[in-house]
């Protein structure tokens, strides 16, 4: 079967290669085998290939934080999924034609889900949901500010916040994105820059903002802090700048603000497996109904992984890059 491996860290389009490896074999007791139908290329996958991600397993290693698959066989003791079911996998190493994993690591999803959307269910939708639910106790009518609002997570935050009657202030790098984000339900949009706090205040009428979601880091974190009310929280969950977040003392000391970090794994770890399954089930139904979605720009074959990785790193894309191992 085909699988993507890296044998060194570096530019993803240079270090990733599609290789032929032995099949995963039949499932043992408590295991599931599924065929990978699609997988997306996420920023974390790019960082993994570069060696800058928090995980650096022994090499060679297989990237891939998420995928959607169809169960081909189940081992003894597995009853929550059966052959033919669509599943997502909670574990990594998904850039392959086939996986064999523990039964508890797969979650069944509705059979009528769009497969491309299902491939992106594992990480971004629950990340957006938990950013809105686990960091600050938000109430209907509260404001949240986020940068990189046109990202996959940012778009999902807009949709999920709208369903919760939470208002979103969306920071982007160019005003040509405003109409697109407002069509999703964004309450207000602003262009990032040194006068961000003044621009935000003008849009909100000075309403207090208690939560800021930061995926850029560096000085962008400080600009979000300047938009927050006293006691507000900046939640950092990414670093598009490649820098550490900068939090000004004026916000921390004078304003009593907090800087916290978020990673999906910690949020899931606070929940039981049944609770995790219920959460993904609810998100999957919102995907099926079309309320949640993420744009896809292009789908590649697994043999084209280097071209796919190069494409995924281009600026100003219109959507995610997916790979179809059985294309």
Which residues carry out catalysis?
53
The answer to whether the Cα torsion of 148, 227, 266, 129 is positive or negative is negative
**In angstroms, rounded to a whole number, what is the distance separating the alpha carbons of residues 295 and 116?**
9
**In angstroms, rounded to a whole number, what is the distance separating the alpha carbons of residues 317 and 327?**
23
The answer to whether the Cα torsion of 296, 288, 108, 327 is positive or negative is negative
**In angstroms, rounded to a whole number, what is the distance separating the alpha carbons of residues 181 and 174?**
12
Burial 7-16 (b: 16+ CB within 10 A, else e): eebeebbebb
DSSP letter at 175 equals: G
**In angstroms, rounded to a whole number, what is the distance separating the alpha carbons of residues 61 and 50?**
12
Residue 279: strand, helix, or coil = helix
């Amino acid at each position: 079967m085909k699988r993507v491996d890296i044998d060194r860290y570096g530019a993803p389009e240079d270090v990733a290669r599609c290789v032929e490896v032995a099949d995963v074999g039949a499932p043992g007791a408590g295991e599931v085998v599924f065929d990978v139908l699609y997988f997306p290329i996420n920023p974390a996958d790019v960082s993994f290939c570069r060696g800058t991600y928090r995980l650096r397993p022994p090499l060679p290693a297989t990237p891939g934080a998420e995928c959607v698959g169809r169960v081909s066989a189940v081992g003894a003791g597995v009853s929550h999924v059966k052959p033919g079911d669509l599943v997502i996998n909670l574990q990594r190493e998904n850039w392959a034609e086939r996986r064999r994993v523990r039964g508890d690591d797969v979650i069944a999803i509705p059979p009528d889900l769009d497969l491309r959307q299902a491939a992106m269910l594992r990480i971004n939708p629950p990340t957006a949901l938990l950013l809105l639910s686990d960091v600050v106790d938000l109430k209907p009518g509260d404001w949240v500010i986020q940068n990189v609002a046109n990202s996959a997570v940012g778009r999902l935050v807009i949709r999920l916040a709208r369903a919760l009657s939470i208002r979103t202030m969306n920071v982007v790098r160019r005003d040509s994105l405003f109409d697109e984000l407002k069509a999703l339900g964004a309450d207000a949009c602003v262009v990032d820059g040194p006068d961000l706090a003044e621009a935000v205040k003008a849009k909100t009428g000075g309403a207090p903002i208690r939560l800021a979601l930061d995926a850029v880091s560096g000085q962008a974190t400080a600009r979000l802090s300047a938009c927050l009310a006293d006691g507000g929280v900046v939640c950092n969950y990414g670093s598009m700048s490649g820098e550490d977040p900068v939090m000004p003392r004026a916000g921390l000391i004078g304003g009593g603000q907090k800087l916290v970090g978020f990673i999906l794994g910690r949020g899931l770890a606070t929940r039981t497996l049944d609770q995790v399954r219920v959460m993904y089930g609810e998100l999957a139904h919102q995907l099926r109904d079309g309320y949640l979605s993420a744009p896809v720009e292009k789908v590649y074959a697994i043999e084209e992984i280097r071209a796919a990785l190069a494409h995924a790193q281009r600026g100003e894309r219109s959507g995610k890059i997916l790979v179809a191992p059985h294309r």
